[in-house]
Chain A
Amino acid sequence: MNHCKPLTALTLALFLAAGGAQAQDTAQSHGANPKLPEPQRGLLPSMTIADPANWGNEKPTVPQGYTIEAIATDLKIPRQTLVLPNGDIIVAEGKGGNAPKLKPKDVIAGYIKSKGTTSVKSGNRLTLLRDADGDGTYELQTVFAEDLNAPYGLAFHDGKLYVANQDALVRFDYSEGQTKASGPPTKITDLPSRINHHWTKSLAVSPDGRLLYVGIGSNSNITERGLDAEVDRAMIWQIDAETGAHRPFATGVRNPTALAIQPGTEQLWAVANERDELGPDLVPDYLTSIQDGAFYGWPYSYWGQHVDDRVRPQKPDLVAKAVKPDYALGSHVAALGLAFSQPIMGEKFADGVFVGEHGSWNRENPVGYKVVFVPFSGGKPAGDPVDFVTDFRKDGKTRGRPVGVTVDGKTGALIVADDLSNTIWRVTRAQ
Chain B
Amino acid sequence: MEVLRALAATLAKMFVTDLWLTATALAAVGLCALGLRTHVIGPAPLPFLLAGGVLAALAVGVIRGARR
A pairs with B: no
Interface residues of B (CB under 8 A from A): none
